[in-house]
Amino acid sequence: MTGGEGGGPERYGGPLPIAVLASGQGTNLQALLDTVHGREARIVAVASDRPAAPALRRAGDAGVPTATFVRADFPDRAARDEAMAGWLTDRGARAVVLAGYMALLTPGFLARFPAGVLNVHPSLLPAFPGLRAVEQAVEHGVKVFGVTVHFVDEGVDTGPIVAQRAVELPDATDPAAVLAALRPLEHSLLPDAVRRLAAGALRPPRR
């Protein structure tokens, strides 16, 4: 991450304050809590678009503030994202990590976090972006699956790639089994990307 054009990496006086967005079980959130939280980074807030998301319980158990922003409670996506961004910044978040967050974010939200918004996706992008990535890969008969961490931009899984890791599964036919095989890769790759972001070693896309 850098400041203005030509500037050096930005440094932080302590752990990088980050927010996490999650829609589901929160296993990637747990990986962040277990590895970088309180070390290279500090998770200051967790938000979800689903009130029943188990990720919220994981955050609460760790003493991290939580909130839910349901699309139906707002007139449009932009209003929802503006409210969510405001809540996250009020808690000091400088960067955001999407850990299984299943809703698209508006450009206005992304602009509120110039330090970067990272996402982890269960495919080797640019192959199989969007929803049902693993199902798509299985249906196409691929033999090598993988995980990508990338910066989020205005597209669907089109932002600059930060890191990728692959695993050979030549006989894969069950998407659930593939997802289970990919989990350890996600749980290693995402914290490593957050460490690099906190160290000023990653450059988010310019807006």
End-to-end Cα, the chain, rounded Å? 13
Q: Verify whether residue 150 is a known catalytic residue.
A: no
Cα separation, 33 vs 207, whole angstroms: 29
One-letter identity of residue 178 = V
Q: Looking at 37, 121, 150, 187, which residue is catalytic?
A: 121
Phi/psi zone of residue 78: left (φ > 0), alpha (ψ -120 to 50 degrees), beta? alpha
For residues 75 and 27, the answer to whether their CB atoms sit within 8 Å is no
The CA-atom distances, in angstroms, between 166 and each of 10, 21, 80, 119, 181 are 31, 24, 35, 17, 10
Active site residues: 121
